Structures are given as structure tokens and as C-alpha cells.
Structure 1
Amino acid sequence: MTEFIGMPAPRPRGVPAPPRDLQARAAELRSGREPYVLATVVRAQRPASAKAGDRALVLPDGTIEGFVGGHCAVDTVRAQSLRLLRTGQATLLRITPEVDQPREEEGLVAVGQPCLSGGTLEIFLEAVLPPVLVHVYGESPIARAFTAIGQAMGHQVAAAADPWAAIAPDTTAVLVASHGVSEEPVLRAALAAGVPYVGLIASRRRGAAVLAAVEGGDRVHVPAGLDIGATTPGEVAVSVYAQIIRLGVRRLP
């Protein structure tokens, strides 16, 4: 293949992308609700090619942006990062010739150095997941409490007064608190989208009547929330979020 002056040669498969402004790139990923792993070299023992402070982002498709070592480290960083994206956790990864078999203990994963040149790298891997996304439908006091308390918990809350408002693909919970106003289309959309938690604020009797007309309605939590004797809108909201936590509901990549 002819190469022209001034045109870079194509990057071989498996070679990490060249470093970019990782801080700006990470901000871009967060704004787009894209998960990633931030990999930071915290210790490097020669002849490792990386040095302390080198960083990279690992994306769910295995792409690595930045630099945390040569090809001897890249495959291990990628594999461990993809594992962490499934759990949302963080760990210290040690790549060293002193380990024959992979070893895992609390907060640490140690694997053998695959290259004959040796050298030890310690890389902190931190999974950065988008905040839980909650879709709240309704304009009632309870709906407003869902929004306020959800935001206080660090969730991203999409408040909607329109029953036909789109539900984002990675929504973790849809909470319907409209007191009988256009509940069915929201419930149907949430169930069709496979939202992990769908809650309806209604009595058991009224809820059963609403769900009789909704296919798959047995997946809807009604009455929504744990039975904690809640009476005020804020207490009802707390009971529902507590149920979501107890059920371990979370959409991971």
C-alpha cells in the first residue's frame, strides 16, 4: 500500500487509541450517560513502559483511550475493566512477574506479567457508571417528592407531565403518581421498554383495576414501596426508593 507524505499510517488492530484530553473526554461520556473505567497507573517498576500518573479510559466495547502501558498490559487492563463495568466496582490491578496464577483478594487483583521483559505495574481501575435514571410521571405532591428525594439521592430524575413522553432506554425505574390520569400508556411504555422497576401509586384495589387493562401488569409494583406506615408524600417516596434499593434494581451496561 502506498503511503503519502503527511498522511499517518493506519493504526494496527489492538493498539490503543492515541491519548486525548481525557478529562474532557470523560466529561463527554458522563454527559451522554456512557459508562467507562478510569485506569490510573499508581506505581510502575522498570522496565515497564508506563509511569505513575499515566491514565486511560476503557469503554464498554473494549476501546482504550489514553495510555497505561504497552501491549503486555493492555489486554489485562481491558479484561479487568470490562469485568468491573458489570459490577460497578473499583480495584487495584497488579501486573507482575512475581505471580504465576491470578490472585484476587479484597480490593486487589494480581495477575502475571505476560512479557519476558518483566516489570511491575499497579493500576487503579474505577468503574464510572451513569447515575440511576428515574422517570416520574405525574404532577401530584407524591410525584414532586419522587423528584426531590431522587435528586437528593444522586439519581437523575426525568419528571414528565405528558403521558406520551419518551422513556430513555437506560431508565432504571418508572414511577407513576398521577392519581388516575393517563396511567395506562405510561405503564405500557415502561413494560415494553423492559424497565427493571415500575411502580404505581394506587391502592391495591384501584391498582388491580388499572392493571387489568395492561399486558404484563403483574410486573408492576402496586401498591409501590415498602410497608413502613408512610402517610406523607415524602414518606411514600422514601418507601418506594427503599424498595428499589432492597430489590437491588440497577441497569448496568
Structure 2
Amino acid sequence: MVDVATGATDILETAARLKAEGRPFALATVVRTVAATAAKAGAKAVIDETGRITGGWIGGGCARGAVLKAAREALADGAPRLISVQPEDLLAAHGVKPGETREGVAYARSMCPSRGTMDIFIEPVLPRPLLSVMGSSPVAVALAELASRFGYEVAVCAPAEDQAAFTAAERRIETYALSSRPGTRHFVVVATQGRGDEAALKAALSADADYRAFVGSRAKMATLRERLVAQGIAAALIDTVHAPAGLDIGAITPQEIALSILAEITLNRRRGQRGGPAQT
């Protein structure tokens, strides 16, 4: 049965389609209304990455602009939002201005003659982050297994004869040809450890990635840096690589090194969220 108020079937189908396509979207839900409003509590809409409502309904133009703006911002930073759309005199009575955020609520002005208020929760639904593990070293195997438990889509770049060592990979690439989907966070770790280091590092530098790391010593990375600079690769780009990979937790075993790398990736991924540190 279709829920007329919320378009539940439409919402579920649209959300499932976008998730299957690996596309980000935001789910807007009306959580409270005061006085006359076109949409009532429980009404929902799906907003795609272009800022277009592709399913559901949350009322007319009185709140649409504020909702779409909040949805775009939520998709950009991955954080949910609660917005309150109110007539200008009510905003003034509360001592807030349109566009101001106070105690977690973002306020927007409603131009509707009905003078109703709507509170809408915006939840971003983002594709799973992609972790590309390059190489078949023990650290690579441990990292692929650990990352899969934390919700990462794992792609393994390793020779065909080494692929059997990986049980958690969802993508298997027998070369270093990396790829990612638009709107997906991409993290790349070179864990070749002596088997094709230079080729893998070059591929990592040419990939569209939010984070790149190299499993190896500073001395080895310095040597590779000289070679790559001699080949015309910008030193500034090479210097974005985290080397040695991972946070310094005193790791020794492959599993511990993998843990330190995933911790560093998590720090990078959650930067700016929950009031966390802004790491470079």
C-alpha cells in the first residue's frame, strides 16, 4: 500500500535505485509542523546529488529552497541537518536571523501566506567509501580484511596468482588501473613492499583520491620521490602521500600496521565531523 502522505513506496524505490547506482542522495523528512502547512509531519523526499527532488514530496515552494540548499550542504560534508522554516516575524521573536544556526538548528525564512512553520531533518546517504589496496604483502591482506569490517568497499590491485590471499575484496584488479565513482570517497594505500613499488606509486598519484599512503620507510619513500620527480611528476603531489603509512602507534605486526593505517584513514575521513581535529 502506498502512503499518500509520504509517498513511502516511491521513496523506497527511488532510494534503492540511487544506492544501487552508487549515487549520493539526501532524505528529507518533515518532523514537525505548526499552523497551516502543505506538507505534514512524516512527509519525505529524496534529493539527488544535483539538488533535484527525485521522489516524494515535502510541500510547495515555501520550504523547497531551504530544503534543497540544506541537502546540497549535507551531501558536501556528510553531516545531517535540522532546519526550521518560519515566517520572518517568528524568527525575529526567537531572536534569530534567516541563515543562522543555533543549537544545531538552521533557520530559514518562509514566504508562505499561511504563516506555518516546518521543521525538516536532512539526512545524507553517501556511497560506501572505496579503499584501493595495491600489492599483495601481508599488510595489504590484513588491511583489506580489516577495512571490509568497517564498511569500506575494498578493491585489491594485485597479480592474478596473489588474489586468492584476499577473501574480503569486492573488486579485483590484476593491474594498477585504479578507478572510482563520482561522489565516492577514495582512499589508496600502496602496500607492495618491494614488489612494484614505483609503478604502484605512480598509479596512486594519477588516481582521483582523497588520501594516498605508502607502506615503507621514509628512506625508501625519499628514493622513490627522487625517481618520480626526475620523471616529471610534481614534487608537491608526491608530498601529499602519507609515508610511512598509518598513525604512529608502535605497530610491528602486519595486523597492527593495518590497524594504524585504517586509523589514519578514519581520521582523514571524519575530518571536521563531531568537532574532530582538522588534520592535513
**Aligning the two structures, in what range does the TM-score lie when normalised by the shorter sequence?**
0.7 to 0.9
CA distance in 2 between partners of 1:172 and 1:106 (Å)? 32
Aligned to 2:58: 68
Query: AA paired with 2:178?
Result: A
1:183 aligns with 2:200: no
Aligned to 1:225: 246
CA distance in 2 between partners of 1:113 and 1:58 (Å)? 20
Aligned to 2:123: 126
Alignment of 1:64-213 (within 5 A): 64-65=53-54, 66-97=56-87, 98-100=90-92, 101-102=97-98, 103-161=100-158, 162-169=174-181, 170-213=184-227
The answer on whether the counterparts of 2:130 and 2:154 sit within 8 Å (CA) in structure 1 is yes
Structure with greater contact order relative to length (CA < 8 Å, sep ≥ 6): 1
SS at match of 2:227: coil
Aligned to 2:33: 44
1:53 aligns with 2:42: yes
1:241 aligns with 2:262: yes
SS at match of 2:136: coil
The answer on whether the counterparts of 1:172 and 1:249 sit within 8 Å (CA) in structure 2 is no
Segments of 5+ residues of structure 1 without an aligned counterpart are 1-17
The answer on whether the counterparts of 1:137 and 1:177 sit within 8 Å (CA) in structure 2 is yes
CA distance in 2 between partners of 1:240 and 1:64 (Å)? 38
The answer on whether the counterparts of 1:43 and 1:122 sit within 8 Å (CA) in structure 2 is yes
CA distance in 2 between partners of 1:19 and 1:79 (Å)? 23
Q: TM-score, normalised by structure 1?
A: 0.83
Query: AA paired with 2:257?
Result: V
CA distance in 2 between partners of 1:246 and 1:203 (Å)? 21
SS at match of 1:237: helix
Query: AA paired with 1:95?
Result: V
SS at match of 1:212: helix
The answer on whether the counterparts of 2:190 and 2:204 sit within 8 Å (CA) in structure 1 is no
CA distance in 1 between partners of 2:64 and 2:73 (Å)? 14
Query: AA paired with 1:133?
Result: L
Shift of residue 193, structure 1, vs aligned partner: 2.6
SS at match of 2:239: helix
Shift of residue 69, structure 1, vs aligned partner: 0.9
Check 1:147–1:94 CA distance in 2 against 1; reply closer, same or farther (3 A cut).
Answer: same
Instruction: Give RMSD over aligned pairs.
Output: 2.2
Q: Which ranges of 4 or more aligned residues in structure 1 deviate by more than 3 Å?
A: 245-250
CA distance in 1 between partners of 2:120 and 2:9 (Å)? 19
The answer on whether the counterparts of 1:225 and 1:243 sit within 8 Å (CA) in structure 2 is yes
The percentage of aligned residue pairs carrying the same residue is 37
CA distance in 1 between partners of 2:51 and 2:32 (Å)? 23
Shift of residue 39, structure 1, vs aligned partner: 0.2
Query: AA paired with 1:163?
Result: T
Deviations 1:197-223 (A, max 9, x none): 211111222232233322243222221
Query: AA paired with 1:99?
Result: L
User: 8, 14, 27: which is aligned to 1:25?
Assistant: 14
Query: AA paired with 1:32?
Result: E
Shift of residue 239, structure 1, vs aligned partner: 1.0
The answer on whether the counterparts of 2:134 and 2:176 sit within 8 Å (CA) in structure 1 is no
Instruction: Decide which structure has greater helix share.
Output: 2
CA distance in 1 between partners of 2:24 and 2:40 (Å)? 25
CA distance in 1 between partners of 2:185 and 2:109 (Å)? 39
Q: TM-score, normalised by structure 2?
A: 0.76
Shift of residue 249, structure 1, vs aligned partner: 6.8
Deviates more, 1:190-199 or 1:241-250: 241-250
CA distance in 2 between partners of 1:155 and 1:241 (Å)? 10
Deviations 1:136-166 (A, max 9, x none): 0122221111111112222221122123333
